[in-house]
């Protein structure tokens, strides 16, 4: 860089204007975001029941106290063989194949949760993008899991490795599962809450 004393004054001014300004960064503009930014945000998820008609819970969500203990990590809903199974929310099909002898469909949702459906004869394929209410397949035979009944839908909900009550998506879950849906408190906040 040239010494400033050897340049004419107009050249010094031009050089100063071409350099980035020093000082604090510009302050963010407060107020509502522009409409374009609002349009880019994902719409809130509207969840729907995985079966048509009223839902009859045959076996409720009963998570184990520890992940390695036995428990019921979903709900069993009454359904006849051949009944249509629908996606509870928007997402992408990440599994649609037999697993342990039963047809299973898994939908991964934008919020990081996954819903599972079994036993289902799938009409979707892995990679299909779906919206709430789209047909995933039909109920297949499932007497092994349905407590002696010829069929039912086992509907599950997971966030990471944690099982959650899928009825919460419809605002019909258990109080224990609702507590699991709330963000976990830090150890410091848990101590404060106990006081």
The string of pLDDT tens digits covering residues 30-57 is 444 444 433 443 445 689 999 999 999 9
Statement: residue 176 has pLDDT above 60:
no
Respond yes or no on whether the N-terminal peptide bond of residue 119 is cis (omega within 30° of 0): yes
Which residue bears the tokens 């509907």?
155
Integer Cα distance of 195 and 180 in angstroms: 21
Please indicate, yes or no, if residue 98 is contained in any of the structural domains: yes
Statement: residue 146 has pLDDT above 60:
yes
Please indicate, yes or no, if residue 108 is contained in any of the structural domains: yes
Please indicate, yes or no, if residue 97 is contained in any of the structural domains: yes
**Coil, strand, or helix at residue 11?**
helix
Please state the domain count of the chain.
Answer: 1
Record the pTM.
0.66
Please indicate, yes or no, if residue 29 is contained in any of the structural domains: no
| Structure confidence at residue 117 (pLDDT) | 97
Integer Cα distance of 121 and 119 in angstroms: 7
Q: Give the CATH number, domain containing residue 165.
A: 2.70.70.10
For the chain, what is the mean pLDDT? 75
| Structure confidence at residue 189 (pLDDT) | 42
Beta bridge partner(s), residue 59: 76
Integer Cα distance of 25 and 143 in angstroms: 65
User: 1-5, 129-133, 138-142 — which one is most confidently predicted on average?
Assistant: 129-133
Please indicate, yes or no, if residue 175 is contained in any of the structural domains: yes
Residue 175 DSSP one-character state: H
Statement: residue 28 has pLDDT above 70:
no
Please indicate, yes or no, if residue 38 is contained in any of the structural domains: no
- As a whole number, mean pLDDT of residues 130-144 equals 88
The string of pLDDT tens digits covering residues 80-124 is 999 999 999 999 999 999 998 889 999 999 999 999 999 999 999
| Structure confidence at residue 161 (pLDDT) | 87
Residue 76, H or E segment: strand 75-78
| Structure confidence at residue 171 (pLDDT) | 82
Integer Cα distance of 20 and 152 in angstroms: 67
Residue 127 DSSP one-character state: T
Please indicate, yes or no, if residue 136 is contained in any of the structural domains: yes
Structural domain boundaries, residue 150:
57-187
Integer Cα distance of 39 and 8 in angstroms: 51
| Structure confidence at residue 141 (pLDDT) | 81
Q: What is the bridge-based pairing of β-strands 113-118 and 129-130?
A: unpaired
Please indicate, yes or no, if residue 75 is contained in any of the structural domains: yes
């Amino acid at each position: 860089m040239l010494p400033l004393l050897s340049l004419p004054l107009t050249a010094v001014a031009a050089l100063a204007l071409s350099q980035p300004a020093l000082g604090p960064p510009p302050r963010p503009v407060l107020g509502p975001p522009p409409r374009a930014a609002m349009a880019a945000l994902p719409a809130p998820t509207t969840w729907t029941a995985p079966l048509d008609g009223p839902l009859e819970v045959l076996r409720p969500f009963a998570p184990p106290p520890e992940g390695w203990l036995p428990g019921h990590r979903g709900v069993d809903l009454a359904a006849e063989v051949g009944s249509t199974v629908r996606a509870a929310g928007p997402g992408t099909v990440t599994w649609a194949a037999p697993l342990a002898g039963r047809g299973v469909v898994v939908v991964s949702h934008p919020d990081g949760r996954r819903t599972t459906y079994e036993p289902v004869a799938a009409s979707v394929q892995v990679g299909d993008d779906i919206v709430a209410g789209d047909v995933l397949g039909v109920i297949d035979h499932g007497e092994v899991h349905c407590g002696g009944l010829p069929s039912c839908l086992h509907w599950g909900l997971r966030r990471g490795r944690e099982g959650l009550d899928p009825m919460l998506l419809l605002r019909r879950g258990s109080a224990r599962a609702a507590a699991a849906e709330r963000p976990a408190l830090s150890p410091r906040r848990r101590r404060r809450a106990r006081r």
